[in-house]
Amino acid sequence: MLVDILTASILVLTINVIPCVHSFGHSYVIKKDWLSGALSREFSVYDKTEKVLKYRIESRFAFRHNNKIVAYPSKQVLGKLNGRWSLRGYVGDISFLDQSTNRWIDGNITEISNWRMREFMINWNGTNINLKGQVDLLPKQFYEKGRGELLAQYKIRSASRLWAARYDMDIFSIKYPESLYLLGLAVEELRSSPPKG
């Protein structure tokens, strides 16, 4: 009898707790601007209904890749990226606003791809985060290096390959700023796609 009560209690606890563990999650639709530049592309980031603009990934004219993440409707800049010249693949400096302290925290993003997989290492605030993707059809995924936890992922919509690209992004963790994942997408998209709208 005690075993049955214990089993029932564990079952009820599991049913109530598991949805809470996965209850955080933001889903976004990211639309590449039709007239995006060749060096620094721009995107609009919408909620999953595609009606509410949440962020813009913007750029300015320059000879190096650059982007900034602007939150809407406040128009507050939350993240910045500046590419650097490198003979070994993509390298960029990143900075994200810590809204609790109003301080910018710097880091970098480096391409470490090989013939099998496109991969980037994001070093930020003492942590290394991998952005990995094998082929264009599969999701690109963010993991904290040395851990198996999936932090976020995005995938291009297959119908958008002929027109301006659209991506579906799911963020599963609040451990890092959302702008980190958005700048990761901007870098990976630049390195993997020809300069079309």
189 or 43, higher pLDDT: 43
Evaluate if residue 68 carries a pLDDT over 60. yes
The predicted structure's pLDDT at residue 87: 78
The predicted structure's pLDDT at residue 161: 59
Evaluate if residue 9 carries a pLDDT over 70. no
Evaluate if residue 18 carries a pLDDT over 60. no
85 or 144, higher pLDDT: 144
CB-based burial label for 33 (10 Å; 0-12, 13-18, 19+): middle
Quick one: pLDDT band at residue 189, thresholds 50, 70, 90?
confident
Q: Minimum mean pLDDT among 6-20, 32-46, 105-119: which range?
A: 6-20
Per the prediction, the chain carries an average pLDDT of 81
Tokens of 186: 């901007």
Evaluate if residue 22 carries a pLDDT over 90. no
Average pLDDT rounded to a whole number, residues 96-124 = 90
The predicted structure's pLDDT at residue 12: 36
The predicted structure's pLDDT at residue 82: 92
Quick one: pLDDT band at residue 37, thresholds 50, 70, 90?
low
Q: Minimum mean pLDDT among 12-26, 65-79, 90-104: which range?
A: 12-26
Give the whole-angstrom CA distance, residue 162 versus residue 172: 29
Which residues lie closer than 8 Å to 128 by C-beta, 6 or more apart?
121, 122, 144, 145, 146
Q: Taking Cα atoms as reference points, which of 89, 70, 71 lies closest to residue 81?
A: 70
